[in-house]
């Protein structure tokens, strides 16, 4: 019995030593490099400039001598930036020697469209109102404009503060047709073109579908806005 207790005590001691972080600098560097490669692969093609600010191993581990392989596993919903809890599986000769919980903090910068001045509600945005700047992804909520062309000529749906990232839900195409406006309704095919006068029952920007009324028949139907005076119906 005494021998069994000694064996158990020695085994517990081995287990305890296995949770003491005493990794040499090379091993620690390999773990960090594996996480950096994972982040770069996950964000490749997104146009982001990522920096791994910190890697914290939650728990401790004494790596065995020899060559090690590191596999990084992340939550499926993680986009590759900000704070996240990952797992790093460490293998030696195909055998798992550790499964380490790792906390990372990744900074991701990308070019965003920002307002150079305060832009009021209902304003048509000009090129001078905008600039491209590198910003941290976390500084923007929702879908943000990546190019100035996405915002130039658009009308603001809300006020935008100076130095604020421009979100796509803050702008819209300005209406070309106003409610109640007299318009030309065009219906055409390869063989025939018909035009009649109508009245817009709602406002719409270029490409929008609005309801129009034929002034002769008084029938209403959807039409696509082509210009400030013309809409098109399917023939």
Cα distance between residue 57 and residue 154, in whole Å:
48
Q: Does domain 19-108 have CATH number 3.40.1350?
A: no
Domain regions of the chain by residue span: 19-108, 110-172, 175-233
pLDDT of the residue at 114: 96
pLDDT of the residue at 222: 95
DSSP 8-class letter at 61: -
Cα distance between residue 202 and residue 221, in whole Å:
12
Q: Is the pTM of this model over 0.75?
A: no
Low pLDDT (below 50) residues in the chain = 1-27
What's the CATH number for 110-172? 3.90.1210.10
CA distances from 106 to 85, 89, 113, 138, 141 (A): 11, 20, 22, 11, 17
- Smallest Cα–Cα separation from 119: which of 175, 149, 163? 163
pLDDT of the residue at 153: 93
Instruction: Give the number of other CB atoms < 10 A from CB of residue 47.
Output: 10
DSSP 8-class letter at 70: E
Q: What are phi and psi of 9, to 5 degrees?
A: -65, -40
Token look-up 């005076």 returns 229
198 token code pair: 């109508």
pLDDT of the residue at 159: 94
110-172 and 19-108 share a CATH fold:
no
What's the CATH number for 175-233? 2.30.30.760
Cα distance between residue 159 and residue 128, in whole Å:
16
pLDDT of the residue at 18: 34
């Amino acid at each position: 019995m005494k021998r069994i207790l000694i064996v158990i005590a020695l085994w517990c001691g081995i287990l305890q030593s296995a949770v003491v972080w005493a990794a040499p600098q090379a091993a620690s560097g390999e773990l960090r490099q594996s996480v950096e490669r994972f982040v770069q692969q996950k964000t490749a093609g997104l146009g982001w400039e990522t920096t791994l600010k910190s890697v914290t191993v939650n728990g401790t581990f004494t790596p065995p001598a020899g060559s090690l392989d590191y596999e990084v596993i992340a939550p499926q919903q993680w986009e590759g930036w900000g704070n996240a809890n990952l797992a790093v599986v460490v293998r030696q000769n195909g055998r798992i020697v550790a499964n380490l919980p790792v906390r990372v903090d990744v900074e991701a910068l990308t070019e965003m469209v920002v307002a150079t001045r305060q832009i009021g509600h209902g304003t048509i945005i000009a090129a001078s109102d905008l600039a491209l700047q590198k910003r941290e992804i976390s500084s923007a909520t929702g879908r943000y404009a990546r190019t100035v062309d996405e915002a130039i000529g658009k009308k603001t749906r809300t006020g935008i503060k100076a130095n604020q990232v421009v979100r796509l839900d803050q702008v819209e195409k300005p209406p070309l047709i106003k409610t109640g406006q007299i318009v030309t309704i065009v219906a055409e095919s390869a063989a025939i073109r018909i035009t009649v006068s109508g009245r817009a029952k709602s406002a719409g920007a270029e490409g929008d579908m609005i309801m129009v009324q034929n002034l002769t028949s008084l029938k209403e139907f959807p039409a696509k806005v082509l210009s400030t005076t013309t809409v098109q119906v399917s023939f």
